[in-house]
Amino acid sequence: MTKIVKTALSRFKVPALALAGAVALTGCVSPVAGPGGNYARPIGNAPVTANPTPYSGALNCLANYARANNIRGPRVAVGRILDYTGKSDFEGGRQVTQGASLMAISALAKSGARLVERFDTSVSELELRYANNRLIGEDGADFRRILAGQVPGSDFYLIGGITELNYNIRSVGTDTFVGDRDPSDPKGIINGKLYVMNVGLDLRLIDTRTLEVVDVVSYQKQIIGREVGLGYFQFFDDITVDLGVGGRSQEPVQLAVRSVVERAVVEMMANIYGVPGASVCGDTFGPNGDPMGPIGTTGAFVPRSDATVGNGATREQPGAWHGSRDGGLRGRH
């Protein structure tokens, strides 16, 4: 009888331990809200940080260049920069950010551009409509007056779209099993994978008055991902040990889009300011200047620039304006 009881207890030991563990986990969540009004306390304590790209330093440098040379740039508006890739998941939604226009506005602000709002004017239009009907009052006046020419116009506007999202441009991987034929001896598994994808962007800068396209930029950026794993398996008498560890990481796709947008804005604002080349921001990239690209011109459609040669070759330099490719700038962002 005692043997039967022990057998029954050992049979239910593992399920009982699993049930106890599940009950212990549910103790972290209460079905009744606590004194603070929450069922559970959120995890994580990472602070809010800046969100720069390797080209943010160049944008800030352009702003300083314009201030130092008393350059008052034209007013720039940002229109729709849409996702034309059409890539989406059935459950996760769009693969590429729908906020490229907002990224461009932030990039232009970093460069010191004079911005006028054209992306979302719904509130302003409603206010003007109310003011036109004399429904909005002002301090010291019966109603807000609408003055001719009170809204400044734009000189240029920026539009375009995200035009490429290519998965698995190239991938490599390995799966290795190590062990002999003896079942009691340890066995090991090693695996690793690398894969590359890319995003592409096409932007154009347009003269608001004439609708002439004055600048066009087409860039792409490759994105890398990796996966590694280790496994260990062995029998110890009546115990089986099966361990597995690994990690997976991928360069953020949306940060890549922001990087491409900022690189395009760097080139366009360098044109607007008449900057003679990436060497102007050499101090930003370290004590030895800019080792990432040749000294050249960035274009000449702005009258104050004395450049007479095109800027296609300079824009093709992958290192130009790129902050993290020089040791003097690493760690600043």
Would you kindly state where each structural domain of the chain is located, as residue ranges? 49-116+152-325
pLDDT for the residue 29: 73
CATH code for 49-116+152-325?
3.40.50.10610
Q: How far is CA 317 from the centre of its chain?
A: 22
> How far is it, in rounded angstroms, from Cα 205 to Cα 5?
83
Predicted confidence (pLDDT) per residue in 115-170, tens digit: 999 999 999 999 999 999 989 888 777 888 888 999 999 999 999 999 999 988 99
Helix and strand element counts for the chain (H, E):
6, 8
> How far is it, in rounded angstroms, from Cα 40 to Cα 35?
11
Strands laid side by side in the 75-83 sheet: 114-115, 75-83, 156-178, 187-207, 213-236, 239-250
Across the chain, the runs of DSSP E, i.e. the strands, are: 75-83, 88-89, 93-94, 114-115, 156-178, 187-207, 213-236, 239-250
Return the closest-CA partner of residue 220 out of 202, 233, 238. 202
> How far is it, in rounded angstroms, from Cα 49 to Cα 157?
30
pLDDT for the residue 222: 93
pLDDT for the residue 38: 85
Q: Is 97 helix (H, G, I), strand (E, B) or coil?
A: coil
> How far is it, in rounded angstroms, from Cα 146 to Cα 219?
43
Low-confidence spans in the chain with pLDDT less than 70: 1-28, 282-317, 319, 321, 323-333
pLDDT for the residue 242: 81
